[in-house]
C-alpha cells in the first residue's frame, strides 16, 4: 500500500480494511481495524488472517480463502479474535487482488463491526419472546392477513377456546377458515375495510365463544398497506352478563306493563320497580368491582416481591387460576350464597394436585352460607393457607395432617375458620413476613371485614380467621 492518496482514503474510512497476500498473510490494515481488534498495526502485519478467526470457524474461513484464490468475491459474517480475547462479530466484504499478469496476488477486505446490530437483534429477540409470553397469558388472539386475505400470524391464549394451536391457520385463506366468502360477513367485511385503509371493529360469535375484534391496516415502513392486523378479545362472560341483564330488564319491563295495567300506572309501583332495577345494577357493579379490587390487591402486594416479569407472571397465574375456579363455581350456583363446605371441598380438590405430599385432611363445620361477594376473598385466603402448607407445613412432607374447622358466631352472620396442622416440619423459629401472610391479613381485614390470628406453635400452625359471611 504505497499509493499515498489511496492510503489516506482508507485511513479515513469508518470501517476496517485489511489486505492479505496470496499466502493469507496481512500486508496492510487501516487505523479503524486496529481500534476494532485492539492490536497495534505492527502486531497485525504479517499475521495470517486465519489466526484472527476462532477455532470453530477456521475450517469455514479456510474454504472461503480458497474460493477467493479461485477469483470469487465474498460477503460473509465472522467472529474475529480481539487482543483481549473477546470475539467481535463482523461483516467481511472480500475481493481478490490481481497482479499485472492476471494472477491473484492477495485480497482486500472491508470489515464492518456488527456489535450494535447483534445487540439490536438480541434485544428484538428478547422483545419478541416477552411478547410471546404475554400473549400466552391473555385471553385474546392476535392475527394478521396479507393482501390476499391469507393468515400470516395467529398467536394468543384465546386460540385454545377455538381449538387451535399457535400458527395453525397460517397460510390458510380467511374464506376457507370461515367457510364463507360473503363480503358482508363481519370478519370478511372488517378485513376488506382495513385493506382499504379504514380501522374498524366488530363482534362475532364463533365456535361457542364471543369475540370483540379491532382490525386496522398493516403498513410497511413506507406507509404502504401490506395486510391487516387484528386483536380479538374473548368477551363471552361479559356478553353473558349483558344478556342476563337484558333478560332481567325485559322481564322487568313485562312486569311493569302487567302491573301498570292492573294498577293504572301507580306511582308507588314505578318506584318499586325502579328500586329493584337499581339494586340489580348495584349488585352487578359491586361484583365486578369486588373482583377487580381482589386483583388490584394481589398486584399491589406482589409487584415488589418479584425481581422479573416471568416470576411475577407465574405467581400471578397461580393465584388467578384459583380465582377462576371459584368464579366458575359461583357461575354454576348462579351467584347465590354458597355453602361453606362446598367452597372448601372444591378448593381442596383443585389445590391438592399441586401438593408435594397429600396430607390427611379433616374438614368439619356446621351448615353456613357465604354471600357471593365474600366467596372470592375467602377463597383467596384458603388458597394462600394451602400454598403455605405446601411450602412449609403438613403438605410438604409425608404423614402431615390438616384440620379445617369452622363455627358460626352469634346470629350466624359471622364465622370463625380454624386451620390447624400437625405432623409437618417443626416450627423452630419465628415466621418472617411473606407475601402469602400479607395476602391473608389484607383479605381478612379488608374485603372479609374481619381479622386474622396467625399462630405458629412448634407442632404446627394454628390459624384463626374471623369474618363476616354476609
Q: How far apart are CA 200 and CA 190, in angstroms?
A: 7
d(Cα 113, Cα 83) in Å, to the nearest integer? 15
For the stretch 92-122, pLDDT in tens is 888 888 888 888 888 888 899 998 888 877 7
In what order do the strands lie in the sheet containing 16-21?
26-29, 16-21, 104-113, 87-98, 74-81
Instruction: Return the C-alpha cell found at 123.
Output: 434485544
Q: What CA–CA distance (Å, rounded) separates 79 from 202? A: 51
Position 308 scores a pLDDT of 64
- Quick one: pLDDT at residue 152? 95
**Segments in the chain below pLDDT 70:** 1-7, 68-72, 124, 126-138, 265-266, 269-270, 273-274, 276-322, 429-433, 435
- Quick check: 167 and 121 in contact, CB under 8 A? no
Who's near 438: CB < 8 A, 6+ residues apart?
A: 301
Q: CB neighbours (10 Å) of residue 13?
A: 14
Q: What does the pLDDT read at residue 69?
A: 66
**What is the H or E stretch that residue 162 is in?**
none
Which residues sit opposite 219 in a β-bridge? 225
- Report the predicted TM-score, pTM, of the whole model to 2 decimal places: 0.39
pLDDT per residue as tens digits for the range 278-295: 665 555 555 555 555 555
Report the alpha-carbon distance of residue 440 to residue 376 in Å, rounded. Answer: 13
Q: What is the DSSP string of 306-329?
A: -SSHHHHHHHHHHHHHHHHHHHHH
Name residues whose C-beta falls within 8 Å of residue 418's C-beta, 6 or more positions apart in sequence. 403, 404, 405, 406, 462, 463, 464
Q: Which of 125, 72, 119 is nearest to 95 (CA)?
A: 72
Q: What is the torsion angle, in degrees rounded to the nearest 10, for the CA atoms of residue 143, residue 145, residue 150 and residue 151?
A: -20
Range list of H helices, 147-235: 174-178, 186-195
User: Which residues, including other chains, have CB under 8 Å from residue 419's CB and lie 6 or more apart?
Assistant: 385, 402, 403, 404, 461, 462, 463, 464, 465
Length of the chain: 470
Q: Which residue matches cell numbers 386460540?
A: 159
What local confidence, expressed as pLDDT, does residue 364 receive?
96
Q: Identify the pLDDT of residue 98.
A: 85
CB 173 within 8 Å of CB 198: no
> So what's the pLDDT on residue 191?
96
Taken in order of first residue, the domains within the chain and their CATH numbers are 4-113 (3.30.450.20), 129-234 (3.30.450.20), 333-468 (3.30.565.10)
Q: What is the three-class DSSP state of 460?
A: coil
Cα radius of gyration rounded to whole Å, the chain:
35
Name residues whose C-beta falls within 8 Å of residue 379's C-beta, 6 or more positions apart in sequence: 322, 323, 325, 326, 343, 347
State the DSSP code for 432: P
Handedness of CA 220, 223, 224, 225 (dihedral sign): positive
Name 292's Cβ contacts closer than 8 Å, sequence gap at least 6: none
The partner residues of 151 in beta bridges, in order of sequence, read 145
Phi, psi of 176 (to 5 degrees): -65, -40
User: Three-state DSSP class for 148?
Assistant: coil
Which whole-number Å values give the CA distances from 24 to 20, 46, 370, 412, in the listed order?
5, 9, 84, 93
- The residue behind cell 499478469 is 101
What residues pair up with 77 in beta bridges, in sequence order? Answer: 91
Predicted confidence at residue 366, as pLDDT, reads 95
Amino acid at each position: 500500500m504505497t499509493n499515498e492518496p489511496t492510503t489516506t482514503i482508507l485511513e479515513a474510512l469508518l470501517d476496517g480494511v485489511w489486505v492479505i497476500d496470496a499466502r493469507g498473510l496481512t500486508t496492510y490494515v487501516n487505523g479503524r481495524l486496529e481500534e476494532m481488534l485492539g492490536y497495534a498495526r505492527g502486531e497485525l502485519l504479517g499475521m495470517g488472517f486465519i489466526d484472527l478467526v476462532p477455532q470453530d470457524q477456521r475450517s469455514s474461513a479456510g474454504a472461503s480463502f480458497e474460493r477467493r484464490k479461485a477469483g470469487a468475491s465474498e460477503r460473509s459474517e465472522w467472529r474475529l479474535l480481539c487482543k483481549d480475547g473477546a470475539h467481535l462479530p463482523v461483516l467481511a466484504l472480500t475481493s481478490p487482488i490481481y497482479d499485472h499478469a492476471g494472477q491473484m496476488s492477495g485480497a482486500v477486505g472491508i470489515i464492518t463491526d456488527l456489535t450494535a446490530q447483534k445487540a439490536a437483534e438480541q434485544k428484538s429477540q428478547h422483545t419478541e419472546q416477552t411478547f410471546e409470553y404475554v400473549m400466552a397469558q391473555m385471553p385474546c388472539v392476535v392475527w394478521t392477513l396479507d393482501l390476499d386475505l391469507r393468515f400470516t400470524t395467529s398467536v394468543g391464549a384465546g386460540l385454545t377456546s377455538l381449538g387451535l394451536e399457535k400458527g395453525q391457520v397460517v397460510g390458510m385463506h380467511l374464506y376457507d377458515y370461515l367457510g364463507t366468502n360473503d363480503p358482508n360477513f363481519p370478519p370478511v367485511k372488517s378485513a376488506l375495510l382495513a385493506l382499504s385503509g379504514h380501522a374498524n371493529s366488530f363482534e362475532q360469535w364463533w365456535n361457542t365463544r364471543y369475540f370483540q375484534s379491532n382490525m386496522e391496516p398493516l403498513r410497511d415502513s413506507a406507509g404502504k398497506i401490506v395486510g391487516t392486523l387484528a386483536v380479538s378479545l374473548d368477551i363471552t362472560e361479559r356478553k353473558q352478563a349483558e344478556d342476563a341483564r337484558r333478560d332481567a330488564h325485559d322481564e322487568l319491563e313485562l312486569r311493569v306493563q302487567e302491573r301498570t295495567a292492573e294498577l293504572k300506572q301507580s306511582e308507588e309501583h314505578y318506584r318499586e320497580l325502579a328500586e329493584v332495577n337499581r339494586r340489580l345494577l348495584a349488585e352487578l357493579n359491586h361484583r365486578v368491582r369486588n373482583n377487580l379490587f381482589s386483583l388490584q390487591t394481589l398486584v399491589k402486594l406482589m409487584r415488589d416481591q418479584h425481581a422479573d416479569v416471568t416470576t411475577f407472571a407465574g405467581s400471578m397465574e397461580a393465584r388467578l387460576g384459583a380465582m377462576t375456579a371459584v368464579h366458575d363455581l359461583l357461575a354454576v350456583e348462579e351467584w347465590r350464597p354458597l355453602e361453606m363446605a362446598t367452597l372448601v371441598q372444591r378448593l381442596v380438590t383443585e389445590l391438592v394436585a399441586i401438593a408435594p405430599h397429600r396430607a390427611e385432611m379433616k374438614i368439619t363445620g356446621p351448615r353456613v352460607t357465604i354471600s357471593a361477594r365474600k366467596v372470592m376473598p375467602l377463597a383467596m385466603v384458603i388458597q394462600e393457607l394451602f400454598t403455605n402448607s405446601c411450602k412449609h407445613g403438613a403438605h410438604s412432607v409425608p404423614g402431615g395432617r390438616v384440620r379445617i374447622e369452622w363455627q358460626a358466631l352469634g346470629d350466624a352472620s359471622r364465622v370463625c375458620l380454624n386451620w390447624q396442622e400437625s405432623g409437618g416440619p417443626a416450627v423452630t423459629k419465628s415466621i418472617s413476613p411473606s407475601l402469602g401472610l400479607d395476602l391473608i391479613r389484607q383479605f381478612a381485614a379488608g374485603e372479609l371485614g374481619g381479622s386474622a390470628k396467625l399462630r405458629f406453635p412448634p407442632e404446627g400452625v394454628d390459624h384463626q380467621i374471623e369474618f363476616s359471611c354476609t
